[in-house]
Amino acid sequence: KSYLIVVTIKTQVGARVDICRECQHLQSSSFHVDQCTHVCGGNIELIASLSLGEWFVCTSEQSRAPSTSCSAVSDPIVVTSQCRILTDGMQNLNSLDDVLDHVNRPGRFTSRLTIITCVFSALCPITWWLQVFLDMEPEDYFCDIPDFGNYTLIQRKHFLIPHLETPAQSEVHYDKCHMYDVAPEALQDFPGSHDYPQTTCKTGHYFNLTGFYHSTVTEFAWVCGEHWRSSLPQTVFYIGSILGVCICGYISDVSGRLYSIVGCCLLQGLTLLGLGLTHKYPLHLLFRFIWGLCTPYGSIVMILAFEYVGPQVRTRLNVLGSLLGYIPAAALLPYVTLYINEWRTLCCVMAMPFFLVALLPYFIPESPRWELQMGRKTSVLQTMETIAATNRKPLSKGEISAIQNCLEAIVSHKQRKDSPHFLRKFQNKNFRTRMSLLCLSWFMLSICYDGNVRNVSNLKSDPMFSWSFFYVAEYPGVLLTHYATDTLGRRWTVGGSILMAGVFVSLCGLLSPGWLLFQTCAVLSRILATVAINVMFQFRTELIPTSLRSQGNSFVEVVGISGSLLTPYLIYTTDIWYDFPFVILAIFSVLGAMATLKLPETLNKQLPDDLSEFTEETNDC
């Protein structure tokens, strides 16, 4: 019999020619060439053993013609002129990670992944923190005062607004929610008297917007007795986010990562537009709830990016996403708000980037891990060809054939496809234990991180400046993440960082808030908490298998959001005992470190694809 095989001859760097060779023997599932002749430059004669995917590469770097023996045939390999035989390693493909390592070497596609990660990281502060600035309350406001006489606003304020007693008599403070219930003319001779009856504001409030902007609070006067109206939308947002991470996580694991990302972002854009146009409070609450439903896209984008790359590149993507995307966007958000100066316009402007996400499928294919888990071998192969073409290193026919064989082997060794129903997996004891530790760790980390964010507000400075300053202060923590994660490992980086954050936050409870040392400990605690929560996001993604990765991350995220909802009430315990929140945060830090250190290390390990790989890892703690 005669068998036809295609061999790639690389005649020079970047040039390939497909040559049809006729093989006379078939032995051990490998094609062998006994006597074939190919003319390359100067009549080069090749007598060799030929395996599927093998490259014959011409090079001018050899000073003499090498000669070596081949164990597959009795005749030696004879290479004349300046040519040598090289293999491309395709015969060693045993898993999807091997395929990705071969196809997705550092190049244009990895750069594209990095840019996409940074862009979506920059969108996340809009989703999570824009509402803080929409509902921000100005420092200076009081009851609206009618015009009378030829008095200025400051004089009328002095006449009609009650004075508050303050320890510093040189500084006058006015009541923000009451005014004198008398005719203005009666107060001209007795300004600031305490003998007149008081009433709530009759004609609304006056807001001093110097250095501020038009927020929902200033437009709808959500102050004094109406203050609950500015707090309720944020509570509704978090309720929506809890439901959203569950829904989007399920969609991501069943229908694909791209569908979930694009759907969330388009809905986010429409919601911001609707919010900027509404004037009714019930509609305002509805749009805030829908806004919360859209929050999971950020974590799903990171999952999609992580499923394309190896452990070291995953750390790099995580770090660059924070350095170039999240932190700059969060730090600039208050100044963008001040520049636009009106919350409705701000919503409409911030909605525009989310509509551009509809173009995402044109820049990156669906996750090959998810597609292989769904049994879509053809789609995975097309994805590999797309990656290779993007890197300007198209696959040869031998490489394509080897990848096909690898994908077939992976699918054939799977007994059955994992069920995408996340809650059913809790019947497995190992899965239940591992997820419980993950949830406990993330719950503690969320409280510690949010608590540190709120505690540093004790610094006496402008709120806009404080917001930006402490986000910029996270840069050292993110840089530390890059070196510690791939050196100490994920587990020890998270556990050690959150434990040290607990030490510094406990020191804050022993120091006076006005001291420089207190502020230094607060900043160090914030930096270490940032390291812990950034690495933990990558850590939890690497621990959960592909078939349940989005749902598992969503489940853990729900627990973390629940912890974040408790943080404001924890900070308010300073009214009972000033040091109480510091003690609680220190205790939570220790518990979070203990839970994290019971998890298995994922440094230099492949991402698990199914439940068996998830539970077979041993705990080396």
**Same domain membership, residue 355 and residue 249:** yes
Closest CA to 87 of 191, 24, 10: 10
Closest CA to 258 of 300, 296, 298, 295: 300
What's the pLDDT at 51? Answer: 37
**Same domain membership, residue 444 and residue 561:** yes
Average pLDDT over residues 542-551: 80
pLDDT digits 0-9 by tens, 86-137: 334 444 666 777 888 888 777 889 999 999 999 999 999 999 889 888 988 8
Structure tokens that stand for 392 in this block: 């300007």
In a domain, 43, yes or no: no
Closest CA to 330 of 471, 193, 426, 189: 471
Q: What's the whole-model pTM score?
A: 0.74
| Residue whose entry in the numeric block shows the structure tokens 């999570």 | 128
**Same domain membership, residue 482 and residue 387:** no
Average pLDDT over residues 219-227: 86
In a domain, 69, yes or no: no
DSSP β-bridge partners for residue 207? 141
Coil, strand, or helix at residue 541? Answer: helix
pLDDT digits 0-9 by tens, 565-603: 777 677 667 667 777 888 888 999 999 999 999 888 888
What's the pLDDT at 164? Answer: 72
Question: For residue 165, is pLDDT > 90?
Answer: no
Cα separation of 51 and 70, whole Å? 12
Question: For residue 534, is pLDDT > 60?
Answer: yes
pLDDT digits 0-9 by tens, 347-366: 999 999 999 999 999 999 99
Question: For residue 332, is pLDDT > 60?
Answer: yes
In a domain, 398, yes or no: yes
Single out the residue in 360, 379, 413 at which a domain terminates. 413
**Same domain membership, residue 261 and residue 303:** yes
- Percent of the chain past pLDDT 70, that is, above it, reads 74
Task: Between 264 and 182, name the one with better pLDDT.
Answer: 264
What's the pLDDT at 21? Answer: 38
What's the pLDDT at 85? Answer: 33
Task: Between 475 and 4, name the one with better pLDDT.
Answer: 475
In a domain, 60, yes or no: no
In a domain, 7, yes or no: no
What's the pLDDT at 571? Answer: 66
Cα separation of 473 and 45, whole Å? 65
Closest CA to 528 of 461, 451, 580, 464: 451
Coil, strand, or helix at residue 1? Answer: coil
Average pLDDT, the chain: 75
Q: Which ranges of 341-489 would DSSP assign to H, the alpha helix? A: 343-355, 368-373, 377-390, 397-412, 429-455, 463-472, 475-488
Question: For residue 255, is pLDDT > 60?
Answer: yes
**Same domain membership, residue 251 and residue 115:** yes
**Same domain membership, residue 441 and residue 396:** no
Task: Between 594 and 179, name the one with better pLDDT.
Answer: 594
Single out the residue in 384, 413, 442 at which a domain terminates. 413
**Same domain membership, residue 476 and residue 331:** no
pLDDT digits 0-9 by tens, 387-439: 988 988 888 887 888 888 888 877 776 644 555 566 666 667 777 888 888 89
In a domain, 2, yes or no: no
**Same domain membership, residue 352 and residue 285:** yes
In a domain, 223, yes or no: yes
Residues spanned by the domain of 485: 428-615
Upper half-sphere CA count for residue 559 (Cβ side, 13 Å): 16
**Same domain membership, residue 588 and residue 446:** yes
Single out the residue in 356, 379, 413 at which a domain terminates. 413
What's the pLDDT at 187? Answer: 59
pLDDT digits 0-9 by tens, 7-51: 344 333 333 333 333 333 322 233 333 333 332 333 333 333 333
What's the pLDDT at 193? Answer: 54
**Same domain membership, residue 455 and residue 359:** no
**Same domain membership, residue 461 and residue 379:** no
Sequence-distant contacts of 596-600: CB under 8 A, at least 24 apart: 596/437, 596/441, 596/491, 596/494, 596/495, 596/498, 596/536, 596/539, 597/491, 597/492, 597/495, 597/621, 598/437, 599/434, 599/437, 599/438, 599/441, 599/491, 599/539, 599/543, 600/491, 600/543
Q: What is the CATH number of the domain that holds 588?
A: 1.20.1250.20
Average pLDDT over residues 149-163: 75
Exposure b/e, 135-160, CB count within 10 A at least 16 = b = bbbbeebbbebeeeeebeeeebbbbb
DSSP β-bridge partners for residue 179? 199
What's the pLDDT at 407? Answer: 83
- Cβ atoms 435, 488 nearer than 8 A: no
What's the pLDDT at 57? Answer: 36
Counted domains in the chain: 2
Closest CA to 245 of 541, 555, 539: 555
- Cβ atoms 142, 164 nearer than 8 A: no
- Cβ atoms 508, 571 nearer than 8 A: no
What's the pLDDT at 10? Answer: 38
In a domain, 115, yes or no: yes
What's the pLDDT at 564? Answer: 78
Task: Between 297 and 87, name the one with better pLDDT.
Answer: 297
